[in-house]
């Protein structure tokens, strides 16, 4: 099945299940339920070209039904739970995302549901896929999304005394405010020593003066920006400095030192020895 066929198949099954449930009460209600189901479920396709997946967005109330249908339908047969996580969409809330895989048909499915920021909660699917227990605990810990019905949402990666949810976009990275950038260059600095452009702040790092002791004291200015580090260069700009080459000394005649012994050259006056005068006569 293509990703489009996988997504449309799940959307059709969800719409049919809602219409069948409403048909027991009223025929007109069944028609309205079928139309609402088609409007609430959105089918798409992920990136990745040959590795693309079907994407299906469902309301929070159909989260468990969507996973159960994807697992139990013979044509979908998504029996392998791969992973579950979330995406912080700021004011829009959080997207809870799960990836399922069919070991029989060799196709994947990305299911998503959005929860409001004021009430970040979604039903747990641990009873449908036991492997989701670890992923739901991590998502609860990192994003603060509650999974109703989970047997034990205990801390998984962080110490019990940790406060906050570090993967939320409003979470302040305090260590980046208190400690300078550990690399050789600040973000935005050029390695070649050219003019420095405006430094970029990583996500979660507030602007100077917006957080910390300086922001709490009126009239206290933020510390000045650290000047850009430049690599020392010699010679042509942009070329690394030359290092001295180590090795054995080059052989050659000595520059200074005692004269080399040997017969005197022709016409040269021999040095005066003991018992002789400068004219060569014995004394």
What CATH number is attached to the domain comprising 33? 3.30.460.80
- What is the model's pLDDT at position 108? 96
Whether residue 43 lies inside any domain: the answer is: yes
Whether residue 249 lies inside any domain: the answer is: no
Whether residue 202 lies inside any domain: the answer is: no
Whether residue 252 lies inside any domain: the answer is: no
* Whether the predicted model's global pTM rises above the 0.75 cut: no
Give the CA distances from residue 65 to residues 11, 33, 206, in Å, rounded to whole numbers and listed in that order. 11, 15, 41
Residues of the chain with pLDDT under 70: 18-39, 175-283
Residue 122 contacts residue 145 (beta carbons within 8 Å): yes
Whether residue 33 lies inside any domain: the answer is: yes
- What is the model's pLDDT at position 17? 78
d(C-alpha 4, C-alpha 199), whole Å:
43
Whether residue 55 lies inside any domain: the answer is: yes
Whether residue 89 lies inside any domain: the answer is: yes
- What is the model's pLDDT at position 165? 93
Kindly report, residue by residue over 202-223, the tens digit of the pLDDT.
Answer: 666 666 666 655 555 455 455 5
Residue 143 contacts residue 122 (beta carbons within 8 Å): no
Closest residue by Cα to residue 71 from 102, 38, 111, 113: 102
The domain in which residue 136 lies consists of 3-182
Kindly report, residue by residue over 28-68, the tens digit of the pLDDT.
Answer: 444 444 444 445 899 999 999 889 999 999 999 999 999 99
Give the CA distances from residue 63 to residues 24, 183, 189, 208, 251, in Å, rounded to whole numbers and listed in that order. 23, 44, 46, 42, 84
Pairing state of beta strands 80-88 and 94-101? Answer: antiparallel
Whether residue 44 lies inside any domain: the answer is: yes
Cβ within 8 Å of residue 147, ≥6 positions away: 121, 122, 123, 124, 126, 136, 139, 140, 153
Total number of domains constituting the chain: 1
């Amino acid at each position: 099945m293509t990703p489009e066929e996988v997504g449309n198949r799940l959307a059709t099954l969800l719409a049919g299940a809602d219409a069948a449930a409403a048909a027991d009460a009223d025929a007109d209600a069944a028609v309205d339920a079928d139309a609402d189901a088609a409007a609430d479920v959105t089918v798409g396709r992920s990136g990745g070209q040959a590795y693309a997946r079907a994407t299906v967005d469902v309301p929070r109330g159909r989260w468990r039904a969507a996973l159960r249908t994807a697992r139990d339908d013979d044509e979908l047969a998504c029996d392998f739970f791969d992973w579950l996580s979330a995406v912080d969409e700021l004011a829009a809330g959080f997207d809870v995302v799960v990836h399922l895989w069919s070991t029989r048909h060799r196709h994947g499915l990305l299911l998503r549901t959005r929860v409001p920021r004021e009430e970040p909660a979604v039903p747990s699917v641990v009873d449908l896929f036991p492997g989701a227990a670890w992923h739901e605990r991590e998502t609860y810990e990192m994003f603060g999304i509650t999974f109703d019905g989970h047997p034990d949402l205990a801390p998984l990666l962080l110490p019990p005394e940790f406060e906050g949810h570090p993967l939320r976009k409003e979470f302040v990275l305090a260590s980046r405010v208190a400690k300078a950038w550990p690399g050789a260059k600040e973000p935005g600095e050029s390695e070649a020593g050219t003019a420095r452009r405006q430094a970029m702040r990583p996500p979660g790092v507030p602007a100077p003066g917006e957080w910390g002791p300086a922001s709490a004291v009126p009239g206290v200015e933020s510390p000045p920006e650290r000047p850009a580090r430049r690599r020392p260069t010699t010679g042509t700009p942009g070329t690394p400095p030359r290092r001295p080459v180590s090795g054995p000394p080059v052989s050659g005649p000595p520059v200074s030192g005692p004269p080399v012994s040997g017969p005197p050259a022709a016409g040269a006056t021999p040095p005066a020895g003991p018992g002789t005068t400068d004219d060569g006569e014995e004394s």
